[in-house]
């Protein structure tokens, strides 16, 4: 599909055009997709409400773009290659033809179970092909999917189901993750005790973990498929959707207590993920592309499912973890399928690096042509290891910066075309207008400056709202700086004009590439009956990027070890194991200003062990608190 940039000059031309004439630019790109009816208006926007509409008046279905339109010429091309958790189990390949048939079939199952256009469907499945099938089946009939990552707890699922008022849940009996079995159905059962909106649960057989099926509510995936098969497996026509009809909701953590449902709509998201997939990975027909993310996160939505499939690519999905059965698993997969493009996260790279090079030795990685990184800043050492050991010094690395709210990649090198520097995301993609702002709301012009990263102009893949609460969307992203989208990230622009993301400037942590809101985590910890108050900060962690440091005031000090374990358990129950603090320090008081605000800056410095730069502590209610905390921190370190 012919919007791929082939040279630096083409990049510059495209960029210039996208800024000078964005409507013409995006209109021409959108022409490369299949529309049931063409749009009237490319763009209509303001950032004050905000009100953002792309391709208004257009009618389409994203699954026709991801499936049907590839059938005639590329029907036998593998769409999904699935590698199971256990390397001795058989892998699966679904061609475009087969995937379309399965999507239509399951879309009919959804209809049989009373799911209609606009209904919300919660998907809580392991990384199996049925996850992709379920997602696309929702999109086929215009139902809005809300995928919940398999590592979230029952409480988190319940919160997400209730917020979006999901009507149906799709899950599995259990899921395999490395040596563990996750009891997904049982977790869903716990969640549903609190969810009134759910009428039906469809359960896929995966792990053969015993489950209890509730009469009238729970049905087996396989039985439901049989019912539509006996109707001669009729096709399921694609529902005609408006460009701005919601495609999905995906919950993400922010600086306030409750995760928010980021809403992406149909046409803009499709155009943006397709365009960026093709360009950022320089995808060529026949290449095997392997993104190691979980589909429960935005990276999986955009760059395992929608982006690659809309471009007719072969997308490899992996059920397991990088270290099972050993730390060479990724490299075995690369060798087995002759993977050409690998897209993974710095945390995975750092952890594999720590296992040593013996797991790479003897593996044939010569198929790898392009490498990608996503989710958090990649440090120079990890970048170089990735480049040398995995890319054999040849495969260029694209360090892709973006967010759940962005829908797709915003700043990244085009491998082999634009320059790369370790730890830099480099240049904005066409259509993306980044700017750096100082604390007073002034734009920092010129180069060699650092500030808060904002985007000045809409791009098609951006969020439109947060589910059920548009005001929250406005407040979170569009009020910090007038007429701009605020990312929450800090950024440096080099003398050459290259962008380097320096990390979050708000109260959001990035732990192993996962976003954790400190307020959300504090709320969870405070639920524990022995906890009076808590404060969470991040600190540099060699593998996770950031570790979680919890300062906790507890009312029983007798059994610190026991309380610590209980707190970890509470967090696992309320959010999920991914949010468990790495360090818990019990304190008797927290450093607060006279108005009662916790001074996190000081807590951060203590957690980082940077005691020489604590800064001004004279505005504290009680400056001696700091000394006590430092003492405690030093004891913990020993």
Q: Which residues bind ligand WTA (CB under 6 A)?
A: 252, 297-299, 374-377, 399-404, 425, 487-489, 501, 503-504, 510, 515
Closest distance of CB 336 from ligand WTA, Å: 27
How far is the CA of 599 from the CAs of 257, 355, 614, in angstroms? 18, 38, 11
- The pair of structure tokens assigned to 566 is 């209980």
Q: Is the peptide bond before 325 cis (omega within 30 degrees of 0)?
A: yes
Closer residue to ligand WTA (CB): 268 or 461: 461
Closest distance of CB 425 from ligand WTA, Å: 5
Closer residue to ligand WTA (CB): 59 or 541: 541
Backbone dihedral angles phi then psi of residue 97, each to the nearest 5 degrees: -60, -45
CA 422 to CA 378: how far, in whole Å? 8
Comparing CA positions, the residue from 468, 515, 462, 467 lying closest to residue 486 is: 462
CA 350 to CA 345: how far, in whole Å? 9
Closest distance of CB 313 from ligand WTA, Å: 19
Q: Do 626 and 620 contact (CB within 8 A), yes or no?
A: yes
CA 389 to CA 391: how far, in whole Å? 6
Closer residue to ligand WTA (CB): 150 or 174: 150
Closer residue to ligand WTA (CB): 207 or 315: 315
Closer residue to ligand WTA (CB): 27 or 503: 503
CA 82 to CA 368: how far, in whole Å? 18
Closest distance of CB 285 from ligand WTA, Å: 26
Backbone dihedral angles phi then psi of residue 600, each to the nearest 5 degrees: -65, -30
Closer residue to ligand WTA (CB): 305 or 552: 305
Closest distance of CB 257 from ligand WTA, Å: 18
Closest distance of CB 349 from ligand WTA, Å: 12
CA atoms within 13 A on the CB side of 383: 17
Closer residue to ligand WTA (CB): 298 or 360: 298
Closer residue to ligand WTA (CB): 514 or 600: 514
* Residues 6 or more apart whose Cβ sits within 8 Å of residue 412: 280, 372, 398, 399, 400, 401, 402, 425, 426, 427, 429
How far is the CA of 123 from the CAs of 315, 344, 370, 448, in angstroms? 20, 23, 31, 45
CA 39 to CA 529: how far, in whole Å? 56
Return the HEC string of 351-376.
Answer: HHHHCCHHHCCCCCCCCCCEEEEECC
Closest distance of CB 108 from ligand WTA, Å: 33
Residue closest to ligand WTA, measured at CB: 404
Closest distance of CB 512 from ligand WTA, Å: 11
Closest distance of CB 159 from ligand WTA, Å: 18
CA 64 to CA 37: how far, in whole Å? 13
Closer residue to ligand WTA (CB): 84 or 503: 503
Q: Say how many C-beta atoms besides its own lie within 10 A of residue 311's C-beta.
A: 24
Backbone dihedral angles phi then psi of residue 512, each to the nearest 5 degrees: 50, 40
CA 126 to CA 172: how far, in whole Å? 7
User: CA geometry: angle at 511 spanning 145 and 277, to 5°?
Assistant: 50
Closest distance of CB 149 from ligand WTA, Å: 10
Closer residue to ligand WTA (CB): 26 or 303: 303
Closest distance of CB 243 from ligand WTA, Å: 24
How long is the chain?
A: 638
Backbone dihedral angles phi then psi of residue 584, each to the nearest 5 degrees: -120, 120
Closer residue to ligand WTA (CB): 32 or 472: 472
Closest distance of CB 452 from ligand WTA, Å: 11
3-state secondary structure of 575: coil
Closer residue to ligand WTA (CB): 58 or 547: 547
Closest distance of CB 472 from ligand WTA, Å: 16
CA 595 to CA 597: how far, in whole Å? 6
DSSP per-residue string spanning 293-321: S-TTSHHHIIIIIIHHHHTT-EEEEE-S-
Closer residue to ligand WTA (CB): 64 or 399: 399
CA 436 to CA 490: how far, in whole Å? 8
- Residue 254 CA, chain-centre distance (Å), reads 13
């Amino acid at each position: 599909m012919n919007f791929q940039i082939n040279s630096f000059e083409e990049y510059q031309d495209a960029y210039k055009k996208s800024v000078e004439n964005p409507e013409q630019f995006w209109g021409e790109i959108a022409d490369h997709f299949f529309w049931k009816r063409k749009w009237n208006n490319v763009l209509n926007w303001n950032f004050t409400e905000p009100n953002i509409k792309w391709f208004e008046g257009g009618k389409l279905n994203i699954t026709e773009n991801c499936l049907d339109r590839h059938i005639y010429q590329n029907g036998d091309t593998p769409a999904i290659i699935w590698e199971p958790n256990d390397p001795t189990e058989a892998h699966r390949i679904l061609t475009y033809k087969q995937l379309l048939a399965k999507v239509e079939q399951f879309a009919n199952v959804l209809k049989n179970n009373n799911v209609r256009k606009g209904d919300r469907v919660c998907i809580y499945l392991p990384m199996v092909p049925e996850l992709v099938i379920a997602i696309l089946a929702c999109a086929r009939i215009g139902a809005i999917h809300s995928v919940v990552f398999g590592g979230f707890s029952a409480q988190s699922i319940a919160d997400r189901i209730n917020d979006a008022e999901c009507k149906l849940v799709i899950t599995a009996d259990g899921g395999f993750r490395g040596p563990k079995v996750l009891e997904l159905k049982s977790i869903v059962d716990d969640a549903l005790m609190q969810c009134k909106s759910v009428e039906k649960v469809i359960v896929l057989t995966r792990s053969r973990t015993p489950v209890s099926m509730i009469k009238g509510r729970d049905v087996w995936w396989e039985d439901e498929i049989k019912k539509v098969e006996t109707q001669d497996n009729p096709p399921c026509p694609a529902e005609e959707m408006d460009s701005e009809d919601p495609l999905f909701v995906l919950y993400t953590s922010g600086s306030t207590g409750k995760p928010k449902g980021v809403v992406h709509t149909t046409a803009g998201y499709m155009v943006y993920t397709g365009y960026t997939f093709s360009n950022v990975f320089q995808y060529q027909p026949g290449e095997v592309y392997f993104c190691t993310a979980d589909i429960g996160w935005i990276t999986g939505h955009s760059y395992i499912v929608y982006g690659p499939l809309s471009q007719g690519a072969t997308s490899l999905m992996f059920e397991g973890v990088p270290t099972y059965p050993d730390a060479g698993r990724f490299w075995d997969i690369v060798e087995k399928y002759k993977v050409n493009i690998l897209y993974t996260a710095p945390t995975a790279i750092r952890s594999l690096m720590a296992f040593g090079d013996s797991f790479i030795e003897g593996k044939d990685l010569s198929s790898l042509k392009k490498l990608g990184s996503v989710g958090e800043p990649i440090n120079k050492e990890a970048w170089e290891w990735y480049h040398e050991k995995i890319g054999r010094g040849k495969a260029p690395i694209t360090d892709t910066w973006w967010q759940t709210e962005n829908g797709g990649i915003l700043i990244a090198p085009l491998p082999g075309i634009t320059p790369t520097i370790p730890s830099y995301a480099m240049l904005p993609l066409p259509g993306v207008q980044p700017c750096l702002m100082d604390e007073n709301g002034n734009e920092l012009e010129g180069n060699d400056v650092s500030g808060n990263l904002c985007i000045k102009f809409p791009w098609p893949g951006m969020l439109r709202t947060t589910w059920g609460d548009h005001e929250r969307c406005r407040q979170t992203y569009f009020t910090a700086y007038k007429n701009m989208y605020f990312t929450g990230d800090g950024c440096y622009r080099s003398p050459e004009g290259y962008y380097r993301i320096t990390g979050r400037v708000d109260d959001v942590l990035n732990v192993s590439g996962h976003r954790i809101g400190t307020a959300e985590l504090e709320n969870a910890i405070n639920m524990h009956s022995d906890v009076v108050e808590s404060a969470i900060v991040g600190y540099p962690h060699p593998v996770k990027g950031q570790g979680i440091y919890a300062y906790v005031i507890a009312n029983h000090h007798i059994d610190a070890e026991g309380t610590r374990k209980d707190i970890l358990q509470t967090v696992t129950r309320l959010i999920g194991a991914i949010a468990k603090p790495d360090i818990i320090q019990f304190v008797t008081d927290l450093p607060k200003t006279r108005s009662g605000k916790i001074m996190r800056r000081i807590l951060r410095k203590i957690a980082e062990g940077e005691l020489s730069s604590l800064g001004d502590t004279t505005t504290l209610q009680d400056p001696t608190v700091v000394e006590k905390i430092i003492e405690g921190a030093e004891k913990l370190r020993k």
